[in-house]
Structure 1
Amino acid sequence: MLRAAALRRPDAPFLHFRGASWTFGEVDRKASQFAHFLGTLNVRAGDKVAIFLPNAPEWIFAWLGCAKANVIYVPINTEYNGDILAHQLGKAEVAAIVVAGEFVGRILHVRDRLPTLRTLIEVDDEGQGLDGGDLVRVAFADMDASPDTDVVVPVAHYDPHAIAFTSGTTGPSKGALAPHCHAVTFALDTARTMSLQEGEKIYNSGMPLFHSLASWMGLLPALITCSEYMLLEKFSASRFWPEVHSFGATVALGVFTLPPILMKQPPRGDDGRVMLRRFIVTQHNEDFERRYNGCRLLNTYGQTETGCVTLTPYGEPPRPGSCGRVNEETFEVRIVDDHDNECPIGTPGEITVRPKLPYVMMSEYYNMPAETNAAFRNLWFHTGDRGKMDEDGYMYFVDRKKDAMRRRGENISSYEIESVINRHEAVLECAVVAVPSPFGEDDLKAVVIVKPGETISHLELWAFFEDNMPRFWIPRYIEFRDGLPKTPNQKVLKYQIREQGILGDCMDREALSASIEA
């Protein structure tokens, strides 16, 4: 796709970041240089290269360069450290990591758990003072000495393109092995539902490139349609509309929490005259469309493993509460009960998906055959989400069947958070559940059982969390108890903990911080 766009519009602007711009031809040459550079580092087709960077042009050059070289890229959440970072890099068997200097220390901290890692490709020199031991360490800028001619490496549509990790729910997070065809189909379906035309201007909204929303649903559709893509480091509600106006954006990307946040911004005189016509999210908001006249929210449902399962085509009236119509060109969808019997229309059940074409979904959970077989049982992929269908093929998301949570736009595994908490020497066991957040997603509550004879405070636990887990994992609430509610076979009854909410001896981290600041 990149090569085709570069041949079609070599001098047209494509990528924008911090006031700088790159044409399609320039990005194509940068990606080719990175692909050649990998060869000098003895990284070959089929090897895995992790990208551990904040949003930046280097992220895109590395990703597209990996695709040219038929190297499998592994996007890593920039919040990750410790156990979760070691698990994902180790499970993916990465040979090299493209890394920001500020993250080098995190890699070196888990180096002894990464037997396949050989090389760090560092985009700046911030981590140069750290001892890398036997690792080969090179500068990303060294690729400039490589040729910018196109790379001649055979790439088939069924070849692996990425290992994209999803949140673990009943166990550690799983790496979805995505063929090239999966990513391309994701992009084609997105471009089709948004009715993208050549020369659109797509605003990234600060969505991280390690998410498929920003990459496969954002940048790849820009390549397909020879459109411009404005990359941001992070989301800013106050800068959103000024940047949309100055860029002339016609399309924006976002999670469902963004429209309510933008609605809280002070009214502007040009609210009803925005050029933005399409905003792809996962939930409809009539008030948003009314205030920003002409801007249409396009709802979709899908997962990293599947792609766009449902779509709301641009130009069709939305169905309130629906996440769109089933994408019948690509998928079959069934709502089933716990025994995989199809549910009647309007009855909630688990959303299951089956592709109509080969290689348009993930191939497997990498190095996890048991989990792969369980997900694809009875020849349908089980999403772990609950939904229902109406007579016209529109789907309605109900809730998450799995014990997963969502916070700040991130899917979170209670299992992985509990694993970290249980490492504390004073903790006997714990349970982490979601409680309602005033911002529309989940806040996290940890119920902690302290070992007999041990003592620990809320503040000490939060300090431990800060050192050992990403910020968005840190539970807002901590409650100490004598025991957890369990079934006779010792399974924790989390629904009881959820139903109890934040009552009782529950400490609120945000309220505590506010009182200290006051």
Structure 2
Amino acid sequence: MQTEWLLPPHERTVPAILRRQEQLFGHRPCVTISGAAWRHGDLARVAACRAGALRVAGIKRGDRVAIMCSNRSELLETILGCSWIGAIAVPINSACMGPQIEYLLADSDAQLLVIECQFVERLQAVDVAKTSLKGVWEVGSAHGTTSSECSALPARRWPEPAEPIEAAPVLPSDVFAVLYTSGTTGPSKGVLCSHAHYYWWGANTADILGHTQDDVLCTTLPLFHINALHMFLQAAIVGCEAHYLGKFSASGFWPAMVATKATVIYLLGAMVPFLLAQPQTAQERNHNVRIGLGPGVPEAAGKAFLERTGVLMLEGYGATESNFVIAASRDAPPRGVMGWVRPGFDARVVDEHDNPVPEGQAGELVLRADEPFAFASGYLGKPDKTVEAWRNLWFHTGDRVVREADGAFRFIDRIKDAIRRRGENISSWEVEQVLLSHPGIAACAVYPVRSEHAEDEVMAAVVGKTGHSPDPRQIATFCESRLQKFAVPRFIDIVAELPRTENGKVQKYILRERGIPAGCWDLTLKA
């Protein structure tokens, strides 16, 4: 890693990094996002002024501010403003519906909600009495108006920046954000991301991708996830430029990359097959992109993408709780491995008793870091889950991998009962809770099946209550108003009973191995 990116421990905080980039790169462009175009020298003042507005609203150090927005300037501005005064940002997935929003607000103990006007109607399904909210800032509404119909909350239009205030004496160990990641046997868990944790995400990724000040980073991924969130810090540390775009569009992707003059791109595994399915265009070659980050890209798709576009999609491994721990080499062609463990980290493959297994044998990937606070500090309000995940002083990823003879790690599958679709982790437990609230469903099991796009699809096996004949179409409609769009089951199979152990536990591995039965209802074909 370049020496100038290795900041002294006391400078591994967002306010310190904002001041540093102001001094080193002041005149250079830094962030272009819907609603704003900021230079490196602007960001410290942007944060200080937004912090002033938060202070006027009663937000103080340690308070949590929930934010539910698409990729727009108010989201990033609120996050930076919170960091400036030592408050804690809680980004909420914009796909969340009423029940999930209520849970996240209550679990995070958020005092203020910043929400885009297009999502406000979802608050009608939120019981505010179960939360600690004291106010709502509505983003994107007409001047002087709000569309909030949640009368239990005092709502106001997004306020103008206030007078700048001094930064709080934030420590690298202080929590910067609570980032929710899907639970597997329970509801989503809030990952405690410290300032130092956030710094190391940015510094490690910049080093892995070989950034320079001339780079233009560009993503369509949402800022409420760590992948896009730390792209800002990459730019802030290096002195380069970051572009945040709206939702991913396969047909519009290359025109957007050409228009922004992007040199570094960020994709998820399923996006590459979508791009390869598009008709070839001249823009796939007439661009400035030199490299991309593409965790989970199928080996064949990565090779085809490189041949067709000239862009190497670099593999790697990181979790919200860990960091960018494993990465492939920029100088090596794709070969289907995640890569090698990075300096400053350690990785093992272990059995169910945490004993290391030999090379070539599959086991769980466990990780730890050399630097203090380079990993998350645990889960908010869930000490039992924190101890379980970090048992024996190693973070347990729940992923099954193999370590090859040359030290490379190859991903095999997930040990935990989680589903990953459209780049989102989906809790089968949460989907099952929604299904079980349906008046005609007696039992259900939710599990992943493979799709034609090299990712998971959500499948539900459903048992109807006595006297009921569940209608898959009606069940899907029921779920659509209660779940994120990406979590609604694509496949619904009405069954007489679920396979169970002698103790009554559902044997999901039998359902997974069975796959998609002939005649199973498919949401994409419901018309």
TM band (smaller chain): over 0.9
User: Which of 420, 428, 431 lines up with 2:445 in the alignment?
Assistant: 431
CA contact under 8 A between 1:272 and 1:292: conserved in structure 2?
Answer: yes
- 1:291 equivalent to 2:308? Answer yes
Match runs of 1:151-230 below 5 Å: 151-204=166-219, 206-216=220-230, 218-230=231-243
Match runs of 1:31-50 below 5 Å: 31-50=47-66
- 1:326 equivalent to 2:326? Answer no
Cα RMSD for the two superposed structures? 1.7
The equivalent residue for 2:154 is: 136
- 1:492 equivalent to 2:509? Answer no
CA shift at 1:438, angstroms?
0.6
- Aligned in 2, Cα 1:73/1:18: closer, same or farther, shift over 3 Å? closer
CA contact under 8 A between 2:472 and 2:521: conserved in structure 1?
Answer: yes
TM superposition score normalised by structure 1: 0.94
CA contact under 8 A between 1:404 and 1:413: conserved in structure 2?
Answer: yes
Aligned residues: 505
CA contact under 8 A between 1:386 and 1:400: conserved in structure 2?
Answer: yes
- 1:22 equivalent to 2:47? Answer no
Structure 2: give runs of 5+ residues left out of the alignment. Answer: 1-16
User: Which of 257, 261, 270 lines up with 1:257 in the alignment?
Assistant: 270
- Which amino acid counterpart does residue 480 of structure 1 have in structure 2? I
Query: For the residues of structure 2 that align with 1:79 and 1:161, how far apart are their CA atoms?
Result: 23
The equivalent residue for 1:403 is: 417
The equivalent residue for 2:472 is: 458
Match runs of 1:474-493 below 5 Å: 474-493=488-507
The equivalent residue for 1:310 is: 326
The equivalent residue for 1:5 is: 21
CA shift at 1:319, angstroms?
5.4
CA shift at 1:393, angstroms?
2.1
- Which amino acid counterpart does residue 209 of structure 2 have in structure 1? M
CA shift at 1:64, angstroms?
1.0
CA shift at 1:476, angstroms?
1.0
Query: For the residues of structure 2 that align with 1:177 and 1:270, how far apart are their CA atoms?
Result: 41
User: Which of 256, 260, 270 lines up with 1:247 in the alignment?
Assistant: 260
Query: For the residues of structure 1 that align with 2:58 and 2:487, how far apart are their CA atoms?
Result: 36
- Which amino acid counterpart does residue 384 of structure 1 have in structure 2? G
- Which amino acid counterpart does residue 81 of structure 2 have in structure 1? G
Q: Which runs of 4+ in 1 moved over 4 A?
A: none
The equivalent residue for 1:445 is: 459
TM superposition score normalised by structure 2: 0.92
Match runs of 1:325-344 below 5 Å: 325-327=340-342, 329-344=343-358
Match runs of 1:73-88 below 5 Å: 73-88=89-104
CA shift at 1:504, angstroms?
4.5
Query: For the residues of structure 2 that align with 1:348 and 1:479, how far apart are their CA atoms?
Result: 32
Query: For the residues of structure 2 that align with 1:474 and 1:397, how far apart are their CA atoms?
Result: 26
Query: For the residues of structure 2 that align with 1:441 and 1:406, how far apart are their CA atoms?
Result: 7
Which is worse superposed, 111-120 or 232-241? 111-120
Query: For the residues of structure 2 that align with 1:191 and 1:4, how far apart are their CA atoms?
Result: 17
CA shift at 1:495, angstroms?
0.9
Deviations 1:127-171 (A, max 9, x none): 82444334232322x233x11x35231110000111111111011
Q: Percent identity?
A: 34
Which is worse superposed, 109-118 or 255-264? 109-118
Structure 1: give runs of 5+ residues left out of the alignment. Answer: 514-518
CA shift at 1:312, angstroms?
2.2
- Aligned in 2, Cα 1:353/1:303: closer, same or farther, shift over 3 Å? same
- Aligned in 2, Cα 1:36/1:413: closer, same or farther, shift over 3 Å? same
Query: For the residues of structure 2 that align with 1:509 and 1:133, how far apart are their CA atoms?
Result: 36
- Which amino acid counterpart does residue 468 of structure 1 have in structure 2? R
Question: For 1:498, what is the secondary structure of its paired residue?
Answer: helix
